[in-house]
Structure 1
C-alpha cells in the first residue's frame, strides 16, 4: 500500500524533477493534459497554473494516492497506465517517476507515440539510480539468510530503465523529435535516518508488502548501518543523497515522420 503522507515527506526534493521536465514542454494551450502515475496529486494540481484552459486528468494504480489527489481537486482515476489510451484531444502526456515500475514500458512509449495526435508531447522522467548504494544495500540485506524466506524471489528492479540515448533512439525511430538528458541531484537531507526515510516512501514500499509489522521494523533497523556507511552525515548534520534521474521530452510527428507519411 502506498502512503501519500510518507511520500510527501520530501515533496520539495521530489517535485523539482517534475518542474525541470515540464520546462522543456513547449506548448501554450494544450487541449488535454494527462498525468500518468499522479501520486498524491500535489504536482498534478500545479498543471492548471501552467495551462489554465486545458482539461487536466490523472491516473494512478493506488487508490490511496488517487484519493489524496482528489482531495486536491484533481480529476484523478484509479487505473493501470498500461491500459490507458489517449483521447483524441490529448496534447500532453506527463509521466513522472512511474514507468520504472513497468518492465515493458518502452513498448508503452512507442504505442503512445503512435496513438497521440500530431505535435502532441510525451514528457517522461524515471529514476536512474538502481545501482546506487541505497538500492544495493536493500538487495544485500534481502539476500541474507534471515530474509530469504519472506523475500524469496522478490523482483528487485535492476537496470529496468534505459539511458537517455536509448530512449532518444527508441522515440526517434517512432517518429518523434526527442530531447533526452540525465541529471544527478544532490539532495541535502536532514534528520536521524533521512535516506531510510526517503526510500521508505518509494523503493521500500513493495518490500513492506511482503513483511509483517515486526519483520518490517527489523528490516528497517538492520538497513540503517548499511545506509549510514554509504551516506554519512556531515558535521552540520546534513546528509547528501545523490539521485540520478533520466528525462525524455518527445514531440510526436517530427518532420521526418511527416515526410514519410506522405
Structure 2
C-alpha cells in the first residue's frame, strides 16, 4: 500500500472476502509460465498469504516482500521463511533492488500510487535479462460503489474533510499499459476480467469497500463522523446493489499485465 493513502489498514477487514480478493492474484500468477524465477520482489504484499503461495510454487526462489502498512506487515510476518521469504515495511514508489530481479509482481497496489505510469519504467529497468513484471489493478472506478464514494467525498457536507482523497480512475486500461510497456521494449500480455460475484451477508458491498477504498476516508474522519458517513453510504449502496434471495451481485473488474523484458 502506498504512503499516499494516509490510511490505517485492517488485515482482518481486508480478509472478510479473502477468497474473492485472491482470485485476481491467482489468475495473474497462473499466467506466469517459463522458468522458475530465482529472485522475486512482491511490491505491495499486504498481509502476506498470497506471497506465501509464490514461495510454495517456487521453493528455490528468494522473495523480498514489502508494503507501506505496518499493520499488514505485522500480519504477514507469520508467513516468513528464513533465507527465502522476508517481509518489510517500505514504500513501493521508492523501491530499488540491490540487484536485478527475475520477477516483480504487484497485486492491487498501483491504484494507490497516482504517479505509477512514471514508476513502471524503473521497475522494468530493475529486471534481469528476460525478467518479467506482472501486476493487476482494479478497473471498477466507474462502478456505483466508487462513483457514490466520490460523489459523497466531494459534496458540500464532506468535501472539506475528504475531497482530497477522491481520485478519478487512477489506472490505465489494458491498451494503455500495453502501449507504455511495449514502448520500453517489453513483450506485453494485457487483459481484463470481470468477476460477477455474489456476496453474502448484511450490506456485503459496504463490508467489501470498508476493506479497501474506504480505508483512507475512515482514517481521515473521527469516530462520530465516520459512523454518520457510513450510514449515508450504506443507504446509497443498498439502492445501487439490491439484495436478491441468493445474495448481492457485485461485479468486480480487474486489469492484468505481464510484461517480459526483451534483451538482445
- Asked if 1:85 is matched to 2:96, the reply is yes
TM-score under structure 1 length normalisation: 0.93
Q: Runs of 4 or more off by more than 4 Å in structure 1?
A: none
Kindly state the Cα deviation for residue 9 of structure 1 after the two structures are TM-superposed: 0.7
TM-score under structure 2 length normalisation: 0.92
Do the aligned residues in 2 keep the contact of 1:86 with 1:112 (CA within 8 Å)? no
Kindly state the Cα deviation for residue 72 of structure 1 after the two structures are TM-superposed: 2.2
- Residue number in structure 2 paired with 1:239: 248
1:20 to 22, 27, 30: 27
- Describe the superposition over 1:189-221 as per-residue Cα deviations: whole angstroms up to 9, x where unpaired: 011110000000000000011100111111111
Kindly state the Cα deviation for residue 229 of structure 1 after the two structures are TM-superposed: 1.2
1:52 to 39, 47, 59: 59
- Describe the superposition over 1:103-160 as per-residue Cα deviations: whole angstroms up to 9, x where unpaired: 1111111111123111101001000111110011112222333323322x42312121
Q: Distance in 1 between matches of 2:94 and 2:155?
A: 37
Q: Distance in 2 between matches of 1:105 and 1:191?
A: 35
Do the aligned residues in 2 keep the contact of 1:28 with 1:51 (CA within 8 Å)? no
- Residue number in structure 2 paired with 1:142: 153
Instruction: Flag structure 1 segments of 5+ consecutive residues without an equivalent.
Output: none
**Count of paired positions:** 253
- Describe the superposition over 1:223-246 as per-residue Cα deviations: whole angstroms up to 9, x where unpaired: 11111111111123x001001110
Do the aligned residues in 1 keep the contact of 2:138 with 2:253 (CA within 8 Å)? yes
Do the aligned residues in 1 keep the contact of 2:100 with 2:126 (CA within 8 Å)? no
- Asked if 1:37 is matched to 2:44, the reply is yes
Q: Distance in 2 between matches of 1:217 and 1:71?
A: 33
- Residue number in structure 1 paired with 2:238: 228
